[in-house]
Amino acid sequence: MSDTLSTSPEPVPDREPGDESGTVRCGFVAIVGRPNVGKSTLLNRLLGQKLAITSDKAQTTRHAILGIRTQERSQAIYVDTPGIHERGHNALNRYLNRTAHSLIADVDLVLFLVEALRFAAEDAKALRAIATTGVSAIAVINKSDRIRDKSRLLPYLRELSTRHTFRELIPISAATGDQVDRLDGLVLEALPERAALFAADQLTDRSERFFAAELLREQLIRRYGDELPYRTTVEIERFEDQGGCYRIGALVWVERPGQKAIIIGHRGEALKTAARQARLGMQTLFDCPVHLDVWVKVKKSWSGNEAALASLGYTSR
């Protein structure tokens, strides 16, 4: 792929991008909201390509992901965060909330994402987290394309404006792209002037290994029922570049033997299908052939155990 996937910022050439002083509009922008409000879809739309995995299930995003959008005189570093939610009954839920909260205070701007005509308890919890930091925020009202009578948005916007002093309020559709270009402009206006922090061709700070795990987990989330995806995670055991072809070995961890049987399916067909689609996604992202081997193993109650979570990569970076 043309964009660089790496685990750390690369050197940035003088005055590229930027003006003669080498400065651009540059800063970190956290996309914050409750689960399943469209944060990852918005990140992908802003970047112009798929980086974050998506599904119609809550808590699809489990890790913070940087998506870097570099233009001629700007560099917006978007941070996709896990959804802030009310459920905190196990270690994984606590990790997700902790990750989202810890990122908000360290950015230059927050995009507070809500769904048009909805404001639930988890929206209020996310907004409280933003308010306590004092970071400037834009209210982004997503899924506005689903509202046929746009006049219904006006009282909703007025009511939302009473909840917090937002820099701007803007209805958009992350799915269709409606008003996303305007949002991009509002973001750039809000960012400080400084030297670019990443190379012009760098798309993210995450490794290809990380995205291989995410693409396989996306297929598991999309293919199984409401409960099973939350009891699965993916670990990449092997990631080798064999002369322009990646050979990847992945482990799918579940919590009970019955879950393992469901994921594998009759004669392994369910797992083969999920792995095939994940492999195709990897080939598109990595721009090279991929050979993918997948196994399923049981790690009892991993989602409720802090030590098990840490061993599977659920740690602060």
Q: Which residue has the higher pLDDT, 265 or 95?
A: 265
Structure tokens at 118: 């909805």
- Per-residue pLDDT at 16 exceeds 90: no
Kind and range of the H or E element at 56?
A: none
Give the residue from 253, 261, 215, 257 showing the smallest Cα distance to 234.
Answer: 253
Q: Residue 5 — pLDDT band, cuts 50, 70, 90?
A: low
User: In this structure, are residues 110 and 127 in contact, taking their beta carbons and an 8 Å threshold?
Assistant: no
Three-state DSSP class for 194? Answer: strand
Pinpoint the residues of the chain covered by CATH 3.40.50.300.
4-202
State residue 314's pLDDT score.
85
State residue 171's pLDDT score.
97
- Per-residue pLDDT at 188 exceeds 60: yes
State residue 22's pLDDT score.
77
How confident is the model over 238-248, as a mean pLDDT?
A: 96
Give the residue from 259, 256, 291, 257 showing the smallest Cα distance to 275.
Answer: 291
- Per-residue pLDDT at 286 exceeds 80: yes
How confident is the model over 247-275, as a mean pLDDT?
A: 95
User: pLDDT tens-digit profile of 115-166?
Assistant: 999 999 999 999 999 999 999 999 999 999 999 999 999 999 999 999 999 9
Q: What is the DSSP letter of 155?
A: H
How confident is the model over 34-40, as a mean pLDDT?
A: 93
- Per-residue pLDDT at 225 exceeds 90: no
Give the residue from 171, 102, 104, 100 showing the smallest Cα distance to 139.
Answer: 171
How confident is the model over 282-290, as a mean pLDDT?
A: 96
Q: Which residue has the higher pLDDT, 66 or 228?
A: 66
Euclidean distance between CA atoms 222 and 217, whole angstroms: 9
Structure tokens at 20: 């003669």
State residue 226's pLDDT score.
73
User: pLDDT tens-digit profile of 48-102?
Assistant: 999 999 988 877 888 889 999 999 999 999 999 888 887 656 788 888 888 888 8
Euclidean distance between CA atoms 283 and 1, whole angstroms: 9
Give percent above pLDDT 90 in the chain.
73
Q: Which residue has the higher pLDDT, 100 or 238?
A: 238
Kind and range of the H or E element at 233?
A: strand 233-241
Identity of residue 166: F
For tokens 């930027």, what's the residue?
A: 18
User: How much is the mean pLDDT over the chain?
Assistant: 90
Identity of residue 69: R
pTM listed for this prediction: 0.88
How confident is the model over 33-57, as a mean pLDDT?
A: 93
Write phi, then psi, for 285 (nearest 5 degrees). -70, -45
State residue 18's pLDDT score.
56
Euclidean distance between CA atoms 17 and 200, whole angstroms: 7
User: In this structure, are residues 234 and 213 in contact, taking their beta carbons and an 8 Å threshold?
Assistant: yes
Give the residue from 189, 167, 192 showing the smallest Cα distance to 108.
Answer: 192
Q: Which CATH number, 3.40.50.300, 3.40.50.2300, 3.90.1180.10, 3.20.20.70, labels domain 4-202?
A: 3.40.50.300
How confident is the model over 293-317, as a mean pLDDT?
A: 88
List CB contacts of 207: < 8 A, sequence separation 6 or more.
5, 6, 7
Pinpoint the residues of the chain covered by CATH 3.30.300.20.
207-311
State residue 126's pLDDT score.
95
How confident is the model over 208-219, as a mean pLDDT?
A: 95
CATH number of 207-311: 3.30.300.20
State residue 21's pLDDT score.
58
State residue 3's pLDDT score.
39
